Amino acid sequence: MELSYLDTTIRLVVAMLAGAIIGYERTKKRKPAGIRTHALVCIASASLTIISAYGVQDFVETRSMDPLRLASQIVSGIGFLGAGVIWKESHGDIRGLTTATNIWAAAGLGIAAGLGHFYLVFLTIVLLRIALKIAYILEKLGLITYETTCNPHNGDDKIDECKVNNGD
């Protein structure tokens, strides 16, 4: 089956919008990977998935080949990009896990969009947005609390900076 230009365009636009929507939360929180990064990951994943699933029909007829093999490489390869946004601060906190996970999710959304699974893309976006807000909602309801850690930085035991350990 060959995709029409319209089908290809719709899949890539859905991927771009999906990436931008989930990247918005990261941009709003001033994280290193935001709307552009998530949209790019999603578009590239969709494009590679379209190539993998629909662009190799001539090879599939003459050779034994798994059309989703390239999609599986997207999932493992995106780990390198995600690892680049994770770092350990001098006082032991780890930062960037949510952003790295979001980038991984953007790749998954791109794969789903590339395969034309638009309902899956929509539902995943809704659930991702809820997941990104659930801790805040539970804290406001009083069901969970976050510990605040303060670190003296100026040598005289005066607290210059306090931050909330919110698991991110």
SS3 sequence of 107-140: HHHHHHHHCCCHHHHHHHHHHHHHHHHHHHHHHH
b (16+ CB within 10 A) / e for 41-63: bbbbbbbbbbebbbbeeeeeeee
Q: Are 113 and 42 in contact (CB under 8 A)?
A: yes
The residue assigned the tokens 């899956």 is 120
Q: Residue 39 belongs to what domain range?
A: 5-134
Please report which helix (H) or strand (E) contains residue 102, including its range.
helix 97-114
Query: Interior CA angle at 119 toward 114 and 125, to 5°?
Result: 85
Is 152 within a domain? no
pLDDT at 148: 53
Is 151 within a domain? no
pLDDT at 64: 66
Is 40 within a domain? yes
Is 61 within a domain? yes
pLDDT at 158: 42
Is 159 within a domain? no
pTM, full prediction = 0.72
Give me the residues paired with residue 95 across strands.
87
Is 145 within a domain? no
pLDDT tens string for the chain (168 positions)? 778 999 999 999 999 999 999 999 889 988 878 899 999 999 999 998 888 888 766 555 656 667 677 778 888 888 887 788 788 788 778 888 888 888 999 999 999 999 899 999 999 999 999 988 888 888 889 888 876 555 544 444 444 444 545 555
The total number of structural domains that make up the chain:
1
Is 121 within a domain? yes
Is 157 within a domain? no
